[in-house]
Amino acid sequence: MISSSFTAGGVGVGLRTHDSPPVTYIKPLLTPPILDHRCNNNKKSKFRSTRRAVKAPQTQAFLLVSHSFSQSEHTAAASSSSVLGMANCSLKTTTNHLRHVESMAVLPSGAGKIPRLNAVILGEALASEEDDLVFPSDDFARQALLPSAQKYLEMYKRSVEDPAGFWSDIASQFLWKSKWGDTVCSENFDIRNGNVYVQWFKGGITNICYNCLDRNVDSGNGDKIAFHWEGNERGFHDSLTYTQLLSQVCQVANYLRDIGVKKGDAVVIYLPMLMELPIAMLACARIGAVHSVVFAGFSADSLAQRIMDCKPKVVLTCNAVKRGSKVIHLKDIVDAALSESAKNGISVDACLTYENRSAMMRETTKWQDGRDIWWQDVVPTYSTICEVEWVDAEDPLFLLYTSGSTGKPKGVLHTTGGYMVYTATTFKYAFDYKPSDIYWCTADCGWITGHSYVTYGPLLNGATVVIYEGAPNYPDPGRCWDIVDKFKVTIFYTAPTLVRSLMRDGDAYVTRYSRKSLRVLGSVGEPINPSAWRWFFNVVGDSRCPISDTWWQTETGGFMIAPLPGAWPQKPGSATFPFFGVQPVIVDEKGVEIEGECSGYLCVKSSWPGTFRTLYGDHERYETTYFKPFPGYYFSGDGCSRDKDGYYWLTGRVDDVINVSGHRIGTAEVESALVSHPQCAEAAVVGVEHEVKGQGIYAFVTLVDGIPYSEELRRNLITTVRNQIGPFAAPDRIHWAPGLPKTRSGKIMRRILRKIASRQLDELGDTSTLADPGVVDQLIALADC
Check binding of 647 to ligand WTA (CB under 6 A): no
User: CB–CB of 374/362 below 8 Å?
Assistant: yes
What CA–CA distances, in Å, run from 744 to 308, 748, 767, 768? 38, 10, 12, 10
| For ligand WTA, the closer CB: 147 or 610 | 610
Q: Report the alpha-carbon distance of residue 437 to residue 764 in Å, rounded.
A: 52
Using CB under 6 A, which of the segments 52-60, 94-102, 422-430, 646-654 binds ligand WTA? Answer: 646-654
Answer yes or no whether residue 449 interacts with ligand WTA by CB under 6 A. yes
Q: CB of residue 555 vs ligand WTA: minimum separation in angstroms?
A: 7
Helix 667-675 to helix 711-724 angle (10° resolution) is: 120
Tell whether residue 637 is a contact of ligand WTA (CB under 6 A).
Answer: yes
Q: Which span (140-148, 215-223, 524-532, 616-624) binds ligand WTA, by CB under 6 A?
A: 524-532
Residue 601 contacts ligand WTA per CB under 6 A: no
Beta-carbon contacts of residue 289 (< 8 Å; ≥ 6 apart): 256, 261, 262, 263, 264, 265, 266, 267, 313
Q: How many CB atoms lie within 10 A of CB 240?
A: 20
349 is annotated as an active-site residue:
no
Residue 164 DSSP SS3: helix
659 contributes a contact to ligand WTA by CB under 6 A:
yes
What string of DSSP letters covers 94-117?
A: -S-TTHHHHHHHT---TT-PPPHH
Residue whose CB is less far from ligand WTA, 481 or 649: 649
Total number of residues that touch ligand WTA (CB under 6 A): 24
Using CB under 6 A, which of 492, 551, 626, 647 touches ligand WTA? Answer: 551
Q: Which of residues 402-421 bind ligand WTA (CB under 6 A)?
A: 402
β-strand 266-270 against 290-293: which pairing, if any? parallel
Q: Which of 160, 448, 484, 521 binds ligand WTA (CB under 6 A)?
A: 448
Task: Examine residue 524 and tell whether it contacts ligand WTA (CB under 6 A).
Answer: yes
What letters, b where the CB count within 10 A reaches 16 and e where it falls short, cover 197-217?
bbbbbbbbbbbbbbbbbbbbb
- Name the DSSP class of 264: T
Q: Does 202 bind ligand WTA (CB under 6 A)?
A: no
Q: How far is the CB of 650 from ligand WTA (least distance, A)?
A: 4
Which lies closer to ligand WTA via its Cβ, residue 201 or residue 634? Answer: 634
Q: Is 638 in the site for ligand WTA (CB under 6 A)?
A: yes
Q: Per CB under 6 A, does 611 bind ligand WTA?
A: no
Any contact of residue 28 with ligand WTA (CB under 6 A)? no
Query: How many other β-carbons are positioned within 10 Å of the β-carbon of residue 357?
Result: 12
Question: Does the protein bind ligand WTA through residue 554 (CB under 6 A)?
Answer: yes
Q: Is 656 in the site for ligand WTA (CB under 6 A)?
A: no
Q: What single string gives the DSSP state of each residue in 248-275? A: HHHHHHHHHHHTT--TT-EEEEE--SST
Segment contacting ligand WTA by CB under 6 A, of 302-310, 344-352, 473-481, 545-553 = 545-553
Using CB under 6 A as the binding rule, whether residue 115 contacts ligand WTA is answered as: no
**Residues 86, 87, 91: CA angle, nearest 5 degrees:** 105
Nearer to ligand WTA (CB atom), residue 248 or residue 423: 423
Q: Does 653 bind ligand WTA (CB under 6 A)?
A: yes
Which runs of E-coded beta strand occur in 670-726? 680-690, 694-703
Task: State the minimum distance, in angstroms, from the CB of residue 553 to ligand WTA.
Answer: 4
- Catalytic entry in 36, 309, 395, 655: 655
Compute the distance between CA of residue 118 and CA of residue 331 in angstroms, rounded to an integer.
38
Q: Say how far apart CA 259 and CA 264 lie, in whole Å.
A: 15
For residues 690 and 661, give the distance between their C-alpha atoms in angstroms, rounded to a whole number: 9
According to DSSP, residue 763 is labeled G
Of 58-66, 318-326, 518-526, 531-539, which part binds ligand WTA (CB under 6 A)?
Answer: 518-526
Smaller CB separation from ligand WTA, 315 or 575: 575
Q: Is 286 in the site for ligand WTA (CB under 6 A)?
A: no
Indicate whether 553 belongs to the interface with ligand WTA (CB under 6 A): yes
The binder of ligand WTA chosen from 550, 583, 599, 611 (CB under 6 A): 550
Q: Quick one: which H or E segment has residue 247?
A: helix 242-258
615 forms beta bridges with 412
Minimum Å distance from CB 524 to ligand WTA? 5
Q: Does 584 bind ligand WTA (CB under 6 A)?
A: no
Sheet strands side by side (includes 614-615): 372-374, 350-354, 314-318, 266-270, 290-293, 396-402, 410-415, 614-615
- Region of 462 on the Ramachandran plot (φ > 0 left; ψ -120 to 50 alpha; else beta): left
Q: Could you give phi then psi for residue 285, rounded to 5 degrees?
A: -60, -35
Q: Annotate each residue in 328-347 with x if it binds ligand WTA (CB under 6 A) or - if it does not, as one string.
A: --------------------
Q: Among residues 676, 667, 725, 718, which one has the least CA distance to residue 695?
A: 667
CB of 449 to ligand WTA, least distance (A): 5
* Piece in contact with ligand WTA (CB under 6 A), picked from 58-66, 313-321, 647-655, 730-738: 647-655
Of 280 and 602, which has the nearer Cβ to ligand WTA? Answer: 602
The nearer residue to ligand WTA, 433 or 559, going by C-beta atoms, is: 559
Residue 615 sits in the site that holds ligand WTA (CB under 6 A): no
Out of 664, 690, 742, 754, name the contact with ligand WTA by CB under 6 A.
664
Binding of residue 427 to ligand WTA (CB under 6 A): no
Chain centre distance of CA 152: 23
Amino acid letter, residue 302: S
| Member of 335, 372, 394, 549 binding ligand WTA (CB under 6 A) | 549
**Spatial contact of 453 and 441, defined as CB atoms under 8 Å apart:** yes
Give dist(CA 536, CA 415) in Å, integer.
35
Q: Which residues bind ligand WTA (CB under 6 A)?
A: 402, 447-449, 523-527, 549-554, 575, 636-638, 650, 652-653, 659, 664
The residues carrying an active-site annotation are 655
